[in-house]
Structure 1
Amino acid sequence: MKSTFQKFDKWVDEIEELLSESPQKNIIQDLLQKFREEIRNKKENSNSTDNLYKQIFHKAPIGILHYNSEGVIDACNEKFIEILNTSKEKIKGLQIEDIKNEGVKQAMENALKGKKGRYEGMYTSFTSGKTLPIRVEFHPELNEEGDWVGGIGMLEDISERYEANKKLRESEAQYRTIFEQNDSVMLLIDIDDGSIFDANPAALDFYGWNLDEITELKIGDINTLPSERVKKEMQKAQKKDSGGFHFKHRLANGTVKDVELYSGMIIVEGKHYLYSIVHDITERVKAKKELQRFKMGIDNSSDIVVMTNMNGKIEYVNNAFVQKYKYSREEVIGKTPRILQSGKYSQAFYEKYWNNLLNRRVMKGEMINKAKDGELVYIIYSTNPIVDQDGNMNGFIAIQHDITEQKEAEEELAKSLKEKEVLLSEIHHRVKNNLAIISALLELNLYQRGKDIGIEEFVRSSQMRIKAMAEVHEMLYQSEDFSHISFKEYVERLINKEYSIIDGGKRKVTFKTNIDEVELNINQAIPVGLMIDELIMNAIKHAFIEKDEGCIYINLDKIGEQIKLSVKDDGIGFSNDVDLTETDTLGMTLLKVLNQQLKGNLQFENSSAGLKCTIEFPIRDISGSSSNMLS
């Protein structure tokens, strides 16, 4: 009994071994465990081995047959019949010689010789005609004396595994076709050590090694990263932590290329590999760098650059735009260039401008725009349509050169030229007229000399009046606009020359001035200067006769568009019997004539504390000559 149960255990072990690779392995192991439990129960509770044998034989999850020492099949279970789609009647009594499949026949004969026989492959049952993939093992059967008395065969239908293997082979064949014939560079990399397992023809052509050479390399020999970094990047690829990788790969000739690499896992011949599809992006990287340099150049260009889409909405402005127009990028992106319109042009002008651009015409010219703060910006512009390689317009680009400073300089130059033209046109008249004035003054002095004026006084007064006119011209020629002078500076310069010529330092006369910053046209400056000159000369000669020192006060105030001039001394004044406005002296006559020229109001205030003369006149930009000054 003990040997019989040992025989049963051995059969169960052999069945378990046979089915170790079956897809239903777990289910079968559960069934076999139940058989073992039944065997143990039979050992304890029953002396009948026949029932136990039958249960195991018929309940086994695989096909089982038995044949005697003559090679004649004398038993099989239901599973065996089911697998071959036959019947027990057709199976029982068959001999080994009847088996058509040589592999199966040889395995059965091996069992009769005391050896284990095995066959795996396609099998066609000659009793049913069914063809299927099978796995079968034959074991010798020994009696208690150890003699071979027959054999036991265990049959498994491996159709599922066969189909799976077939699909795997087809998949691998398909992969091999794709791998070999693909124009993309492809590598298979061993995930354990990074060695290159395979490379397709495109990879061999790209890298420059043959297959034997490249499969001797590791990916770290190609990738320029340090080895530790390469390992980390491989780990990322296995985990799919990155959609793509950007590396630099070294070729056989030493050239380094920029590559974009996409990786994933694949099983080839039962082993996991990292497959990598490699794209050469060297030209793309180069173009990108050139584009970045180009963009940097535009960003930092001193010229203003604006790009719009086909609807005229701004998509890009450079730094010069931001600096000149005072708008931030966020304020203008999505807006149209209408925000820069200065109001200097009609709507028709802008419509024509836009229509020409839509008709692919390049627009060039000068324009005045307006910045955010209202400042006017003068530009020279060139606006071009942006056309792609297929001839389609994608938008517009405007390049503007700021000429605001140039325009301001041109305006200043034009103004200066105009003033010089006016000056040159009047030089002849002024020289002639000033000579006429000098002649008239000399004539008046001669008239006065008939009233016992000394020769020296005659010369000094004439000299001073000429100096007053000359000072105006000297300051005029030194000024920037050639038509106006600073009157405050003029009076100060006139006082210094006046005092040195008239008195020669005999008396201590001081001057106190309070003069507003006023610019007078030359045709007002000369008569006002002559009037101040006349009043100063009169004060120095007559006001301080009985005094060793004195003070002359000169005030000039600008009140709106009026000038109020006063000259006062702290001398002895005039006798109350004298009506200054009725006197016919040279000085008074000259003051009256000059006052008429200015269209002013002349007044005198006389007291024992001195004489004060006040003239009020309107500021006028008088053009032309001063020929009628003393006429």
Structure 2
Amino acid sequence: MAFEWGRYPEMVKSEEVADMSHLQAAIKAEQVSLLFKAMASSSIATTINASILTLMLWDVIRHDYLIAWLAVLLFITLGRLLHSHYFQRDQAKVQNSQRWEISFLAGTTLAALSWGCASLLLFADQSVVHQVFLAFVVGGMCAGAITSLSPQKLPILIYLSLSLLPLSLRFVMEATPMAYAMGFMLFLFWIILVISSLRIHHQITQNISLRLESQHQKDELEKSEGRFRELFENNKCVELVIDPDTGAIIAANRAAELFYGYSQDQLMSMSISAINSLSSEEIAVEMQHAKSEGRSHFIFKHRLASGEVKDVEVYSGPLHWNGEQVLYSIIHDITARIKAEDQLRKLSQAIEQAGESIIITDREGIIEYVNPAFSIITGHTAEEVMGESPRLLKSGRQSSEFYDELWQTILSGEVWKRSLIERRKDGSLYPASMSIAPIFNEAHEITHFVGIQQDMSDHEELENKFRQAQKMEAIGTLVGGIAHDFNNMLGGMTGNLYLAKKRMVDFPDVVHRLEVVESLSYRASDMIKQLLMFARKGVLEMRPFGLTSFIKEVSKINEVSIPENISFKTRFCLEELVVNGDATQLHQALINLLNNARDAVASVAEPQVSLSLDEFEADAEFSHLHPSMSGTRFARLTVSDNGCGISKEQQEHIFEPFYTSKEVGTGTGLGLAMVYGAIESHGGIVEVESTPGEGSSFYIYLPLLEEKQSVISPEDCDAIISGQGETILVVDDNADIRMSTKEVLESIGYNVLEASDGLEAVEIFSTSHRVISCVLMDVVMPRLGGVKAVERMCGIDPDVKVIFTTGYDKEDALKGEMPSSDYLILSKPCHIEMLSRVIREQLDA
């Protein structure tokens, strides 16, 4: 029959009622037993008092009345004595108490009626003394009956009423003052006896109840102790009884012997500190907590007889044991559970703290769990996606066949791995690498699926940067390969142009044309340098300088290149922003941005270009978007225009070399690529914001230094410094460069010797080193290169002064032949003014 929880209170109540009925029956049985036990003494008292009363009334009452009354009373008394004897033999069983109670009540009623008849048959009408003696005897019998009949209310009330009230009424019937007084006194005596009997009855009943309850509790306690002992000994759980004051083990069951490996006697002679890995002081504190604070649950480490340590879970509580309060402990071995929980905790923490998005669905694809990384990557909180389908991440970039393949794979029990495009909560798309695996139950049935997704945005950005780096490397290789010959040709051109200008000084128009060609030559050289810089093959001259002052000067210089119909606005911060950089490269980057802005507004009705510089404090979003940037303080240079703008598709390619959106012949595609390379080489970044038809804004962020101000070095003097007749050895394998260099140097006051390679240079130096003041040495030459040649010259004259020249990329092509840092290296083509100054500095050093 199933248990009916709703009826539990009624069942408890029924059990309580049954217990109460049983107790009432037991009390009534005790009451009946007390009544029968007192019957012998009351019968003796009745016989004696009845006999004395008969003798005292023998002379005033008819003898036949006396004899008849006495005979009836003694007969009733004898019957009650026999009744009591049979009751004792029957042992007053509880189930027979009601029968004995009724029979006792009948005998008591008959005895009371006998004494009540005495007031009628034995009342002496003529003798007041005998009347008073009768009242004394009947009253004495009633007073004596209180102790023997009070265990129950009804017998004492019947006895008192039937014995005493008829006599009181008989006195009243005499109608004399004395009789009235006697009748009233007897009635008052009856009231007092009734009250006393009721009080005695209450006390007797209470005493019986307390004794029975005490006995019942004692019996139940003995049963409980018996059951506890049986449970304690036979329980499969480890159980210990411990003295909370000393820690001594008072009792231990069989399971404790098997678990700890000690015998019963050994355990009983031990303290809990011999088992617990805690110190005695720590154990005392724990037991005090269990005793005073009611703590009942503990996790300990217990040491076995073998020395092995087990993790145990202890449930402990106070218990009365042989009259003393002890601690009763149930102990469970949880070593395996602790290991499993530790593994589960590690697994849970690994999933919660994983950088990849982890999602668990049921077999139908309904989401049941997502880790925090899922919310970080997708923008959806766990509460939002619970009970939903992963379809909320679909971007629409994958076909239905793509997802059909996914489901076919995972439903067949295999792992599915692919790359896809997903959609965040804000609608933005991101590339992801996805792996979905089925989860099987014990029956090898698929119950769930677990998906691990990695946001590939950073990886894709790294790939883009890698491809960009490959492009740069290709360009650098190309430029590095042609730089030498190109620079040699430009070097020859600039030298001859200088000589031609000197000879055509009387023809200013020709000089102007030659200057234009010379300017174009140096611009061609600058283009090579830009390409090398973009490919990170150029040499940056990094030094701290004040960017604010520098940009102000640059803006003034470049303002003249912006047509008057374009509104050019500038805004610079008041504080000097100090950066570490190459001023020439930053100048070139700014020129390229301003030129692009000027071209972008060419077809705008009200063209506007603005240039601003301010300090920028990086926030969390900026740091997240640019994790490679260190520090938080940056100089922000902004070039904006209201021109044609740049589309999203074009923005992805504008920093690529040779990419241009301009018409053929109006752009090389190197301007923004050079800007990108130059700023990255400075540890900065370039950002663009643009809307087609509304304009563009380019933002350059450069890390700030702590210095608050720095002075920009003044431009080097453009004047040519003449020689004083010193001899210069010019070494170059290019005859044109040798010739033009010789003529230039001779034109400014030097004597020149020539050598076509290193071997020839060493031979000339060995014979003429005393007159040679300086050697202008090419680095790369056939037969013997410049570095090796100088080493041999130093063997001849350790104090030889050398200036190296090269048309190669110094950082790449000359890695194996670079001179030491003690020597100065000039790149071809070199300005005549710079060459004259460097030679003079070397000679004067």
Question: 1 or 2, which has the higher strand percentage?
Answer: 1
TM superposition score category, shorter chain reference:
0.3 to 0.5
Question: 1 or 2, which has the higher helix percentage?
Answer: 2
